[in-house]
Structure 1
Amino acid sequence: MALSTGFTRMFGVRHPIVLAPMGGTAGGALAAAVSNGGGLGLLGAGDGDPGWLDREVAVVTARTDEPWGIGFLTWAVDRSAVERALDYRPRAVMLSFGDPGLYVEVVRRAGVAVILQVTNLEEARRAVDLGADVIVAQGTEAGGHGARRGRSTLPFVPVVVDLAGSVPVLAAGGIADGRGVAAALVLGAAGALIGTRFQAAAESLADPAIVDAIVGGQAEDTERSSLLDVVRGSRWPAAYTARTLAHPHLDRWRGRESEAATDPRARADYDDDLARGVIPPQPVWAGEAVDLIRDRPSAATLVTTLAAEAEAALTRAVSG
């Protein structure tokens, strides 16, 4: 069976699989490989650093003629960065974490599809009102940042699907194999946005120590917290926590978040451990499906594998 959905038809891609635009990981090589595999690769542009964009867009455009896009952190980016990105002619721009109202019309006027990620029903309603072309419903199982008071993927996705009507919805959070993609489709989603699984792809920009941690990780070792943002001096808004693998600075300050926020030793100790190589260069953003990740294939192979597994899972479900 072909996994044709409203999303695949909208973008002319073969598989309903999308690379999450992970900062520090989803560069041009990874995005191109996902697109070449039949999915939609999204660059993780974060705050829209122009030097990073110039470099990584050059990579993605050199390596694929398939559709690709760019993702931004809405709270961190400004209008000029979005406008600059549109000059590269991506097929889609994805906006996550914050009110995207300032940017939606800018993207739409450029003839580029608007993908809005939501973490609760208030954000989902806002995305519908803004006229999103695609909505990503992110559950709390996801690695990296998400809503402090969110909902898990299984109950959240169908509610957003019902709310979105004809707008395609992508499920995100806790999806790392084809069974997860199949589950997303059964919930009514038009595809899946996948992050942690692609961190361990061959083309990932993630530091080797981070990839090793993911390949050897266990879901019970993941934790949602704002502590690592606090101790490393990150500007992430308080409304969002992050799911990571175990970390010594989580152990050091757990239950003392207010103290860590005001104690200068917290940042100094973190920076010292970073300089000495005691901790990885970034927290290990990892979702609850990390147990399913045990190899490091090319992203193109991974996309086709996920699609084949999803088709097989759906066939088994129908045939009993």
Structure 2
Amino acid sequence: MGGSAGGALAAAVSRGGGLGLLGAGGGDPQWLARELPLVVQGTDRPWGIGFLTWALDVRTVEGALEHRPSAVMLSFGDPSTFTERIRRAGALLAIQVTDLEEARQAVDLGADVIVAQGTESGGHGARNGRSTLPFVPVVVDLVAPVPVLAAGGIADGRGLAAALALGAAGAVIGTRFQATAEALVHPAISTALVEGRGQDTERSRVLDIARSSSWPSRYTARTLGHRYLDRWRGREAELAADAEAQRAYQDDVARGEVPPLPVWAGEAVDLVTDLPPAADLVGRLARQAEDALNRAGVERARSGPGSGTNRAFAAHGLRWRVASRP
């Protein structure tokens, strides 16, 4: 969501009852100067900001904290340089993790919230990450009582309900909110997301190498199909050594033959079928999740109170009903 989750989108999500996060990436100063006032002016509800830790500097964090975000989320890299500054500013510290070692570090650093990202997620993640379904409950057990948010492959309320059933306190959702009216994306990307299918996504480093991105090699990116993926799949080292091929990529972008950015998309992109206002989408997700949990409660009633699985669903249904009240 780096660059596409601007101030208007974050403010709309917060107005709708979620926690809108600015997708600030590495913290481009001009982008932040434009987008931070939009979220501050756009909502009186809590909002946050997310950064790529590996690309971040202290001055950028301190400048963002002057706008008094309710939360700061750090992803991909060692967050230790920034944690005390965030805590002193009174913002909640959220740390995204992709393996158990990172989860332990997040606990040691005093994270208020831990985001457990599965490999189904769109955009960047661990090269050898684990799927959301088995990863989230392991993290929940490991870091308790720190609350965990699930991320990766969640694009509707059923996915949110599943995250709650896994023991998560909620979910971080990216691809679905990239396809909203307020997202800062080219219309061609919006169309690609609506038309995209999960089987068309692929996790790779090819497009980072082709566009001379500085992303660390331990992270790959899940995107929709791309002709450079077809051309260079399995030949990453060769591409990295071929400066002419990288210049050709930039020339293709300039001529409009390839999109200016890859289309980041998670495996749940099949569930993206429209481009709603973000605030409306938050409400839709909440209703879908409550319906899913209520259905699970009906199944519990039919099968009787003896099932441990059904008791777990019922407990999460109660939690969600309480949390969703205004």
TM-score per shorter chain, which class? Answer: over 0.9
Distance 2:29 2:214 in 1: 19
Is the counterpart of residue 135 in structure 1 residue 114 in structure 2? yes
In structure 2, the residue matched to 1:302 is: 281
Distance 2:194 2:86 in 1: 37
Distance 2:119 2:187 in 1: 26
In structure 2, the residue matched to 1:56 is: 35
Is the counterpart of residue 32 in structure 1 residue 18 in structure 2? no
In structure 2, the residue matched to 1:224 is: 203
Q: Which moved more, 1:174-183 or 1:60-69?
A: 60-69
In structure 1, the residue matched to 2:261 is: 282
Q: Deviations over 1:158-177 (max 9, x none)?
A: 00101111111000000000
Q: Deviations over 1:28-63 (max 9, x none)?
A: 000000000000000011111222112111111111
In structure 2, the residue matched to 1:107 is: 86
Distance 2:245 2:123 in 1: 21
Q: Deviations over 1:183-234 (max 9, x none)?
A: 0000000000000000111000011111110000011100000010001000
Distance 2:167 2:209 in 1: 37
Q: What's the Cα RMSD here?
A: 0.6
TM-score by length of structure 1 reads: 0.93
Shift of 1:265: 2.1
Q: Percent identity?
A: 70
Q: Deviations over 1:45-92 (max 9, x none)?
A: 111122211211111111110100111000001011111111110001
Higher relative contact order (CA 8 A, sep 6+): 1
Gap runs ≥5 in structure 2: 300-326
In structure 1, the residue matched to 2:224 is: 245
Q: Which moved more, 1:138-147 or 1:266-275?
A: 266-275
Distance 1:266 1:138 in 2: 32
Distance 2:245 2:98 in 1: 29
Shift of 1:263: 0.7
In structure 2, the residue matched to 1:92 is: 71
Shift of 1:24: 1.8
Aligned length: 299
SS at match of 1:170: strand
Is the counterpart of residue 162 in structure 1 residue 174 in structure 2? no
SS at match of 1:166: coil
Shift of 1:154: 0.1
Distance 2:285 2:41 in 1: 25
C-alpha contact (below 8 Å) 2:40/2:67 kept by paired residues: no
Distance 1:61 1:100 in 2: 25
Moved >2 Å (runs of 4+): none
In structure 1, the residue matched to 2:62 is: 83
Distance 2:54 2:70 in 1: 22
Q: Deviations over 1:134-186 (max 9, x none)?
A: 00000000000000011000000000101111111000000000000000000
In structure 2, the residue matched to 1:259 is: 238
Distance 2:78 2:62 in 1: 17
Distance 1:198 1:111 in 2: 27
Q: 1:126 aligns with which of 76, 100, 105?
A: 105
SS at match of 1:289: helix
Give the aligned residue type for 1:74: T
Gap runs ≥5 in structure 1: 1-21
Which structure has the larger Rg over C-alpha atoms? 2
Q: 1:273 aligns with which of 237, 252, 272?
A: 252
Shift of 1:266: 1.9
